[in-house]
Structure formats: structure tokens, C-alpha cells
Structure 1
């Protein structure tokens, strides 16, 4: 069993911590407030208040915060990376720019610390069941080293390429996801013009050739708008990132952008 440090034991991170503890790992969680430290202890973890204490003696440190800036601040400015022991591995679960993972990995080389990016596809219920999908980028040796840890909550754990590839796959995935929501919004508009109520249309389409995973997620809620109220925050954050890295790569989103353009995507906290 491994010693695990964990940063970001919130909506997504808490079930990860619970499953790590249940798998027999020793887990140390960062809690800036007493309330968060108490919550971490209730999960069976050791609670500490400083990043350096999370990293001390840890074989693996996982970061599951919201934005690139938070990842950079925690790993570089707050000293998490520098406090890790040589031979340890940093796992970045936060969805963000591949460049962030590469920049942190470059600094990690100074400390003998490997870095992998492992963004998540799924929700807290998937993590709790141990079936969340992880898109993992990094050197084969680093990925193999953390696979037993990631396997406590991830299945499948997909090694999709070198460092940063996990982020790229997740961002493409969420761009297609957002585009499919946009297409469904247009389908609802068309259905309404033809006299079909939105809940009836969504339910019926789940039984037709247009059925999709996205549709089966939206239909039980009765409307695309209701689903966006719940999911728009984290989808919107990722769409902003993919637009930026696409521009940097000299390309764009093409017809995916057309499908996404009319969605009202807001921000909230989630990794």
C-alpha cells in the first residue's frame, strides 16, 4: 500500500479519498480550515493544514482543484512540488491546459518528481463506484507507478500518450459533449416549433437512432436548460481552455464551435 497526499477533497475529491482509504492506502489531505480538516478525518484520512505536510513522505500526491491557476499556485507557489520526496509522482486530476502539466513537470525534474496528468470523465457517483474514466498522460514508467493508486477509483485508467495528452483528450471529449448539448437544444427548438413538448421529445429520442449518452443524461431532467444549470459550470470552464489551446495550435473548433456558441455556460467549482 502507498502513502498518498491529496489536495482538493471536495465534491469530486472526497469520494476519491474515501476509496483510497478503503483500498488500504494511508491518505493525508490538505484542509485549510478546521471544517475541511474534520471532513477529511471523517473520510478516514489524516488531515493537515500545510501543503508541505501533504507531500511529506508521500509516494503519490494527487491534486484535484478547479483551475490551472490553482494548480500552478499549489504546486509551485505554495511549495507542494518542492516538498515532495525524490522518486514520488504528482498526479494532476484538474482539467486544464496541457502546458500547465508540462511546466510543472519541468520543475519537477529539479526535485526528482515525476508528473502525470489524469483528468476525470464522470461524476462523484462514478468515483464512489470505482468506475470513473481517467485519461492519463505521462511517461509509461510514471503511469505504471501510479496505476494501482488510480485504480482505487478509476476504471478504465486509459494511458493516452505523453504528458499533456490526458488533458488534450479530456478537452476534446468535453468539447464534443458541449456540442451535443448544443445540438439537443436546437432539436428541442425544432420539436417545439412542430408542436412536441420538450420532455416528451427528449424521452422519445432516447429510443431512436439519435440516442446518445448525453441524451440519456439530459432526458430524465426534462429539459436541456435544467441540465445546463447543473453541468454548465464545469463544461464552460473546459470549453474556455480548449478554445485557448486550439488558437495556440493554429486551429479552431470548427463546426463544434457553432454547436456550442449559443449555450449559456457558467462557472462553479469542480475538478
Structure 2
């Protein structure tokens, strides 16, 4: 792929560069410490930009400050954002970047080892046309890529996945605490429950080869907060009087 450039910090960026290079795409890399001359050289002939970051401040600096990759677009035709960012921020980028540039968001599920080995699962938000145009890049990932909808849909899907996994984990732990308070035998409980306790491994089930860390938990918390911040604002989900038809009132009774 001609004119491919990768920027952003961290191991994810290096892992993607390695995969693109192995696929013969020959990506250019813009380091965080690049001076103005190197930034100008990087922009020259740039057609497809892969921006790898989970940090809003870093994305802002790369797109609209310093290198101004989102302002001085030149020959740029596509920007692919790899990372989990706040959903509202991602969607707002469409109005800040020239329409001639197709935007795609591509968060992934899995750790760095899974990414390096091509085992991470990617969630793509892009138009069908944009997805087809960056197909060589997507194929080089060596991992499943699911197009979830237009720009922003990939981030929405990733946040929903994290929210569901986190809530399943929390409810499973509440159930286990209650079971312990009732004196249930742990081994018998596990045998009885079978796969119902799969929520214990929810948030990190896609990265079994890595240990859970405070960073993982913080990242999940931020993702869930971002989902709650933007989900269903002002939406009316239940038609008038429908709730009474779906959930019929029961008699009050004493709980034991």
C-alpha cells in the first residue's frame, strides 16, 4: 500500500508496524520525538494514516497540533484510529477533519501478545467503500475484522463489549458472595453452575496469556464511563403503558 504511515506511541504501534512490514506494506513511522523537518517529511506523500492511541491528548496533538496531520491533509485519503477512545470524541472528529479524508475507527480486543501474533479481534467503524479501500491494511492484521457500521461504530461496539463483560463479572461476584454467605460448598457450586460462571473471566477473557493489572481495570472503567456518558441520551425506550403489560405487578410478600 502506497503512502502508508503509522504514528502514536506504545507497544501497539510497534506491533502494527511489524505486521504491516511483514505483509510488505512498507509503512513510514512518525516517532513522538520527531522534529518539524521529520514531521514535514512524514506528511509528504502520506495517503493512509494509522493513528495508534488510547489517549485523547495524544490524538489531539498529532491531528491538530505539532504535525497537524488532521489539518494539513495534502494527499491524505484515509485516517484509521486504532485505540479505544471516548465515543463522543471519536464521532466529533468527523466534523473537524476535511470530508475528502475517509475516517475509520478500529479498536481491538486482546492484549499486546495477541496483537503481535495476529490473534486480536478488531471492530471496524467505516463506510463499506472506505473498508474496501483499506482492505490490504486490514488483511495485514492477520486477525478477524468485523465491520460494525459507519465511523464510530467500532468504538461503540468495543465499549459495549467491555461494559457487558464488566457487568457480568460484577454480578457473578455478587452471586458468589451471596452463595458464600449461605454456606454453599465452592466445589459443588462450580459443578452445578457449569458455564454460568463464565463472567468471572469476562473483561479479560480475550487475553488469557497476560496478567490482570490496575491499568487493565482503569481502562475498563474509563470505557464503561464513556459508554454511560453517551448511551441513549434522551431516548424513550418504553412506550407509554407498555411496562405494565410486560411486567405485571405481583403481590407483596415478605422475603425470607
The alignment's TM-score, normalised by the length of structure 2, stands at 0.75
- Give the aligned CA root-mean-square deviation in angstroms: 3.4
- Give distance in 1, aligned partners of 2:113 and 2:197: 22
Indicate the residue corresponding to 1:259 in structure 2: none
Match for residue 117 of structure 1 among 90, 97, 105: 105
> CA offsets, 1:143-165, max 9 Å, x none?
11112102212521111111111
**After the TM superposition, which residues 76-155 of structure 1 pair with which residues of structure 2 at under 5 Å, given as runs?**
76-78=64-66, 79-109=68-98, 112-155=100-143
Match for residue 226 of structure 2 among 241, 260, 269: 241
Indicate the residue corresponding to 2:146 in structure 1: 158
- Give distance in 1, aligned partners of 2:199 and 2:39: 38
- Give distance in 2, aligned partners of 1:178 and 1:146: 32
Indicate the residue corresponding to 2:166 in structure 1: 178
> CA offsets, 1:100-152, max 9 Å, x none?
33433333325x22111111122212211212211111221111111210221
Contact 2:173 2:200 in 1 (8 A): no
Indicate the residue corresponding to 1:210 in structure 2: 196
Decide which structure has greater helix share: 1
Q: Is there any run of 5+ residues in structure 1 with no aligned partner, and where?
A: 38-46, 253-271
- Give distance in 2, aligned partners of 1:206 and 1:116: 45
- Give distance in 2, aligned partners of 1:25 and 1:206: 51
Say if 1:52 and 1:155 are closer, same or farther in 2 by CA, change over 3 A: same
> CA offsets, 1:12-54, max 9 Å, x none?
2221111111111122222234xxx8xxxxxxxxx99855444
SS in 1 for 2:50: strand
What's the offset of the Cα at 1:189?
Answer: 2.2
Indicate the residue corresponding to 2:6 in structure 1: 6
- Give distance in 2, aligned partners of 1:196 and 1:76: 58
- Give distance in 1, aligned partners of 2:118 and 2:37: 28
What's the offset of the Cα at 1:211?
Answer: 4.8
Contact 1:76 1:104 in 2 (8 A): no
Number of residues of Structure 1 aligned to a counterpart in Structure 2: 230
Q: Is there any run of 5+ residues in structure 2 with no aligned partner, and where?
A: 237-256
SS in 2 for 1:16: helix
Q: Does 1:250 pair with 2:238?
A: no
Indicate the residue corresponding to 2:19 in structure 1: 19
- Give distance in 1, aligned partners of 2:61 and 2:142: 26
Q: Bigger shift: 128-137 or 80-89?
A: 80-89
- Give distance in 2, aligned partners of 1:166 and 1:128: 20
